[in-house]
Amino acid sequence: MKIDRVCFYVADAAKTSNWLIHHLGFQLIETYQDNNTYTQGITNQGIYFVISSPLNSYSPVARYLESHPEGIVDVTFCLSNLQSIMERAAKLGVKILQPLYKQDKIKYARIAGWDSLEHTLIEYPANISGYDSLLNQVSVDAGELQTQPKPKLDLIGIDHIVLNVARGELHQAVAYYQALFDFKIQQTFKIQTPRSGLYSEALVDSTRQVQFNINEPTSSNSQIQEFIEINRGAGIQHLALRSHHIIETVAQMRSLGVQFLPIPPAYYTNLQQRLARDLISISDSKFQKITQEGILIDWHKHEPESLLKQIFTQPILDKPTFFLEIIERRHNAQGFGEGNFQALFEAVEQEQLNNRT
């Protein structure tokens, strides 16, 4: 199992695509337009986004945007046993949005996820190893497939996706995905600040290629609760893009105008103490770059060489709900930086306070 594509509903598909093209090095590869909806497909190595906007009020995108801000509407999974998954979905009472059908030897179906989230399911034939066609029908305007050089960023795939659900719904949502896809819980953690907190469970499929995390708020003023209120329901809060060289990638993104969440200076004072405690050596020059770029670092005390580095952008769509994470896993570091979450949570809360003033 793996993530095949991520589908966004936005007010202006071209505008959103252009931002990702010019700030993250994506490339426009396909466009499609029917009577109601305009769609662009963009890619950066193993990352594929489908971005749609309405042409009129009859578009499903327009109906979605009446109830929610811009965001991810569909996380599409590629799997090898689509028929059995659909049979299981039927037994579980999962809403089938599009029954299984076959086109050009590729099998498709679409089911309801949690709340308004949807999941398209794809099974490719054995002789097709990857993403063969971004859209079912493609009409490419050669003028839109611009040939000018685009920035090349070291982004190599989707590391994980994070779903926020309403307070009290975490265990139900986890059980839903466990029953449907046989996801397993690989990590559980709770974050608390003087103002708020969250409870999170990280799920993984049997191949460990899909990492799907679910958060719920633990208080009425939690940043997760604020997301639920602005999004008008559960939804995808962020997705993480993996990089081999996060320091260089983040520096390049900053030079292209990407803004990141500020990290409290005290974080790096504490980080130096933690590094010394666990006998982890980072050169002064590299530590300075890490501090300068605002990158968070975490590790397991029993595997100190397996460093996890991460950073989070400011919200990138029309409302302060959806953002991106850039992550580097050195020596196959596991987890999601739970040692960093306290600093991140505090930084996001400060950003919320700043937005209110």
- Residue pair 330/242 in contact (Cβ under 8 Å)? The answer is no
pLDDT at 179 over 60: yes
In this predicted model, what pLDDT tens digit does every residue of 268-308 receive, in sequence order?
Answer: 888 888 888 877 888 889 999 999 999 999 887 666 677 88
Nearest in space to 159 (alpha carbons), one of 13, 320, 56, 308: 308
Q: What is the largest CA-CA distance in the chain?
A: 62
334-356 pLDDT per residue, tens: 666 566 666 666 666 666 666 66
Of 66, 243, 73, 244, nearest to 163 (Cα)? 73
Give the burial class of 127: count Cβ atoms within 10 A of its Cβ; 0-12 exposed, 13-18 middle, 19 or more buried.
exposed
The proportion of the chain whose per-residue pLDDT surpasses 70, expressed as a percent, equals 84
| Neighbouring residues of 220: CB distance < 8 A, sequence distance ≥ 6 | 167
Task: Answer whether residue 213 shows pLDDT above 50.
Answer: yes
The whole-angstrom separation of Cα 25 and Cα 322 is: 19
pTM of the predicted model as reported, rounded to 2 decimal places: 0.88
pLDDT of residue 132: 46
Q: Which residue has the higher pLDDT, 345 or 116?
A: 116
Distance CA 153, CA 252 (A): 8
Flag whether pLDDT at 133 surpasses 50.
no
Q: According to the model, what pLDDT value does residue 46 have? A: 86
> What angle do helix axes 284-293 and 246-255 make, rounded to 10 degrees?
40
CATH of domain 2-123: 3.10.180.10
The ranges assigned to domains in the chain are: 2-123, 157-356
CB 50 within 8 A of CB 39: yes
Tokens read off for 59: 């578009």
Examine domains 2-123 and 157-356 and report if their fold is the same.
yes
**Residue pair 270/339 in contact by the 8 Å Cβ criterion:** no
Predicted local distance difference test score (pLDDT) of residue 77 = 97
For residues 104 and 320, what is the distance between their CA atoms, to the nearest angstrom?
Answer: 40
CATH pick for 157-356 out of 3.10.180.10, 3.30.930.10, 3.40.190.10, 3.30.1280.10: 3.10.180.10
Per DSSP, the three-state class of 159 is strand
Whether residue 76 has pLDDT greater than 80: yes
Please give the pLDDT value at position 198.
Answer: 86
User: Per mean pLDDT, which range of 85-89, 145-149, 254-258 is the poorest?
Assistant: 145-149
Helix (H) or strand (E) holding 182: none
- For residue 120, give the nearest of 36, 17, 7 by alpha carbon: 7
